[in-house]
Amino acid sequence: ISDPDPTVYQLKDSKFRNTSICLFTDYKSGVNVSKSTDPELFIFETTALDMRSMDSKSNGAVAWSNKIDFECSGVFKENASYPSSEVPCNAKLVEKSFETDMNLNFQNLSVIGLRILLLKVAGFNVLMTLRLWSS
């Protein structure tokens, strides 16, 4: 993606509804992240992801609060787009659409099985060598 627009994503705790997290992504490095004096608002400093393979950088900042009425719009000073309310950012929706790859699971089990077999063979060789030396 070349030159993406800054975007703010807000995640809310669906269970307790008192924790809210804002992720501010893809903004220019000169943008100021507001310093809040609110003791219930926590803001991480700006982080930069340098993607050398794509010859681009992506800046991000994270803020969270335990307030019930916390909104991301007042935290960041940059004009950013907000995802529409029609498509909520909900972890449960991601879990429902997540599918595992059966081939990958089989390959993982095969590797674990081969490691166990290798350890058994190595242990058997060590025991037979020690028995041969002792006699």
Domain boundaries, position 16: 7-97
Same-domain check for residues 65 and 14: yes
Same-domain check for residues 74 and 55: yes
Phi, psi for residue 29 in degrees, rounded to 5: -70, -15
Same-domain check for residues 56 and 12: yes
Same-domain check for residues 114 and 87: no
Same-domain check for residues 86 and 108: no
Write down the pLDDT at residue 55.
60
Same-domain check for residues 76 and 114: no
* Rounded Cα distance, 38 and 65, in Å: 10
Write down the pLDDT at residue 83.
58
Same-domain check for residues 58 and 124: no
* Rounded Cα distance, 64 and 122, in Å: 52
Per-residue pLDDT of the chain (135 residues; tens, 9 = 90+): 566 677 777 777 777 667 777 777 776 665 555 556 666 777 776 666 666 655 666 777 777 777 777 777 666 665 655 555 544 555 454 455 556 677 788 899 999 999 999 999 999 999 999 999 998
What does the DSSP assignment read for 34-77? P----TTEEEPPPEEEEETTTTEEEEEEEEEE--TT--GGGTB-
Write down the pLDDT at residue 17.
66
Same-domain check for residues 73 and 87: yes
For the chain, what is the domain count?
2
Same-domain check for residues 135 and 75: no
Write down the pLDDT at residue 44.
72
Same-domain check for residues 50 and 82: yes
Same-domain check for residues 53 and 112: no
Q: Please report whether residue 62 resides in a domain.
A: yes
CATH number of the domain that residue 71 is part of: 2.60.40.10
Write down the pLDDT at residue 60.
76
Q: In residues, how long is the chain?
A: 135
* Rounded Cα distance, 74 and 52, in Å: 32
Write down the pLDDT at residue 123.
97
* Rounded Cα distance, 32 and 46, in Å: 9
Write down the pLDDT at residue 78.
58
